[in-house]
Amino acid sequence: MATRTELHTLLVELLGNENAYFQPPSNIQLKYPCIIYNRSYIYPKFADNIVYGTKKRYSVTVIDQDPDSPIPDKIGSLPLCRFDRHFVADNLNHDVFNVYF
């Protein structure tokens, strides 16, 4: 089973810089483009009414000033990744994905 730090390394690689943040505190100054991610769900696998494994789901948000950024396409091509929504706030484009890792 992969760890959160392995996911972090993968996100930094796809992003092309170090601006990937896991549950950033409110006082941190974000640098764009960036990725913010947090754990959103743990999916249990059952057999005989016993949990024998789990898969963690992370909410991954790509934030970029460029509406045509290639970063969301890179994140969207990850295995077990699904696009959730897009929105604009403070003139920044936000693309939210659910990634099982």
Residue 12 is part of a domain; what is its CATH number? 3.30.2000.10
Domain encompassing residue 93? 4-100
DSSP classification of residue 14 = H
Label residue 1 by pLDDT band (50, 70, 90). low
Q: What is the pLDDT of residues 8-66, one digit of tens each?
A: 999 999 999 999 999 999 999 999 999 999 999 999 999 999 999 899 999 999 999 99
In this prediction the pTM is 0.90
Residue 16, CB half-sphere, CA atoms under 13 Å: how many? 10
Number of domains in the chain: 1
Identify the H or E element spanning 43: strand 34-47
